Amino acid sequence: MSIFLPRDAQKARKQIRTGTPIRPRRAVEVQYRNTLFELVALLKQSTADISRAIVAGIERSRLLALIARQMDATGTALEALAPRAAASWAQASNAANKQQVESMVARALGVEWASIMASAAIVGAVETAIAANVALIRTIGEHHWGRVIEAVTANYQGKTFAEGSLSNRLARIGSISQREARRIARDQTSKLCTSLNAIRQQDAGINRYTWRNSQDQRVVGNPAGLYPQGNAVHGDHWQREGQAFRWDQPPDDGHPGQPIHCRCTAEPIIDLDELDATYV
């Protein structure tokens, strides 16, 4: 048994209960995003130093040496930050999800509390998320410096920039890196929330859910919306509204919240006959 409930839960009159969807905790996403913004601020400062050197007329060889030093310095800082940031975010996500799922079950059954036991699968999901996000955090720096080197090389080749100057282009690169950090925080928090939902709910015997979309123009597949056609990466989520799915049989593009930029949610279907509970 993986979930403990008060004995009162056995008195529930309705055999099938509907739980409220578990959404990513906004505070967890914001904390992670702000941590990534600290990294981006360091990258932007290092790039600003390069811009000042360019304006001052630094020689090409010295400029390339400066870029190499800045890359090494930010790389060292990134290597120190990434494991701590990813671990703190994943652990906060896990704690929030446990509390949310327990509260959802208690409300659905009309009892004061529910307690879900930890499982090896949860530990594995958290560890996997940490490893994946350490790698993703590293890509912020890699992509940033790749763009910087590309811009500097283009400048020496006599190419022009839409931003008007190399310095302006380098400043623009910092903004791109910040958007990338924001996307990682949002997307990864959503994905981890869904993974933890799937594990915890199945552990408790909640095997099915109803697909719910946001019912607006941004939903993929909405004939009158911005994205009327689904695709392999992000399926037709408009058409899935109200359909029941099993956690152990995900659609091709994943459960709600797993496809990139997906805002859909999974509304739990709680069947008392399937609930894997101990009543105390």
Beta-sheet strand order (sheet of 208-212):
16-18, 265-271, 208-212, 244-246
Q: CA 152 to CA 47: how far, in whole Å?
A: 11
Give the model confidence (pLDDT) of 212-262 as tens digits. Answer: 999 999 999 999 999 999 888 899 999 999 999 999 999 999 999 999 999
* Mean pLDDT in residue range 116-138: 95
Q: Are 29 and 185 in contact (CB under 8 A)?
A: yes
Q: Could you tell me the strand order of the sheet in which 115-116 lies?
A: 115-116, 3-5, 277-279
Higher pLDDT, 15 or 91: 91
Burial of 179 (0-12, 13-18, 19+ CB in 10 A): exposed
The total domain count for the chain is: 1
DSSP 3-state of 248: coil
Using one digit for the tens of pLDDT, what is the confidence trace for 105-120? Answer: 999 999 999 999 889 9
Judge whether residue 11 has pLDDT over 90: no
Instruction: Sort 238 into a burial class: Cβ within 10 Å, 0-12 / 13-18 / 19+.
Output: buried
